């Protein structure tokens, strides 16, 4: 992959770019302290309400509301990292097509498909995944598909045997005579 990047730099091609949208960033940075102040006021209210509760039922209700609001505040705080410094990326596939003209230019690609239980993960879905990967618009000498059936299911094996037989019949009909 580094070879592709080096060739792109040598040819002056741009494979991707990134920028930070300033309008959204400014609004989110102004809104976050206001929201945090509201959360602090809400926590102050919850703490005073369960400290001044008169019955055991109101105490447990106040504590449970405080815990739920604390969890939601934590979720909001962790999501702020994406809003404080958002990053937008853009790819340029035309530049990549210009770099990868021969089959030997493509990097080798290994695809691992893991499955264990044929009742939770239907064998037909696993076969469809493998066939979809094999149908990628990618040089066949550069892509390898591995299926790991940790459960050792006879159903999955039979599904792959049927798929192989189907592919043999389809390639017989697809190739010109």
Please report the DSSP string for the chain in residue order: -HHHHHHHHHHT---EEEE--HHHHHHHHHHHHHHHHHHHHHHHHHHHHHHS--SHHHHHHHHHHHHHHHHHHHHHHHHHHHHHS--EEEE-HHHHHHH--SGGGSPPEEEEEEE--TTTS-HHHHHHHHHHHHTSSS-GGGEEEEEEETT--HHHHHHHHHHHHHHHHHHHHHS--
134 has pLDDT over 90: no
Say if 37 falls within a structural domain.
yes
11 has pLDDT over 90: no
Say if 159 falls within a structural domain.
yes
Among 86, 119, 140, which residue terminates a domain?
86
112 has pLDDT over 90: yes
Q: pLDDT confidence of 67, banded at 50, 70, 90?
A: very high
Residue 176 vs residue 32, higher pLDDT = 32
Averaged over 50-79, what is the pLDDT? 92
Determine if residue 120 is labeled as part of a ligand binding site.
yes
For the chain, what is the mean pLDDT? 87
- Give CA–CA dist 113/99, Å, rounded: 29
Determine if residue 121 is labeled as part of a ligand binding site.
yes
Say if 95 falls within a structural domain.
no
Domain that holds residue 141: 103-174
Averaged over 30-48, what is the pLDDT? 94
Averaged over 100-125, what is the pLDDT? 89
Say if 133 falls within a structural domain.
yes
Q: What is the pLDDT of residue 174?
A: 58
Determine if residue 142 is labeled as part of a ligand binding site.
no
176 has pLDDT over 70: no
177 has pLDDT over 70: no
Same domain, 136 and 79: no
- How many C-beta atoms surround the C-beta of residue 126 within 10 A? 22
Q: pLDDT confidence of 103, banded at 50, 70, 90?
A: confident
Number of domains in the chain: 2
Residue 79 vs residue 5, higher pLDDT = 79
Say if 2 falls within a structural domain.
no
């Amino acid at each position: 992959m580094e070879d592709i990047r080096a060739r792109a730099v040598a040819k002056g091609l741009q494979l991707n770019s990134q920028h930070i949208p300033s309008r959204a960033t400014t609004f989110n940075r102004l809104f976050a302290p206001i929201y945090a102040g509201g959360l602090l006021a809400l926590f102050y209210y919850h703490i005073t309400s369960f400290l001044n509760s008169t019955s055991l039922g109101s105490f447990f209700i106040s504590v449970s509301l405080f815990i739920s609001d604390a969890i939601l505040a934590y979720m909001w705080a962790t999501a702020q990292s994406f809003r404080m410094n958002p990053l937008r990326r853009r790819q340029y596939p035309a530049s990549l097509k210009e770099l990868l003209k021969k089959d030997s230019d493509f990097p080798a690609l290994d695809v691992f498909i893991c499955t264990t239980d044929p009742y939770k993960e239907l064998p037909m879905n696993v076969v469809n995944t493998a066939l979809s990967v094999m149908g990628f618009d990618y040089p066949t000498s550069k892509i390898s598909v591995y299926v790991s059936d940790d459960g050792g299911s006879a159903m999955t094996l039979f599904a792959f045997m049927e798929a192989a037989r189907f592919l043999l019949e389809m390639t017989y009909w697809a190739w010109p005579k």
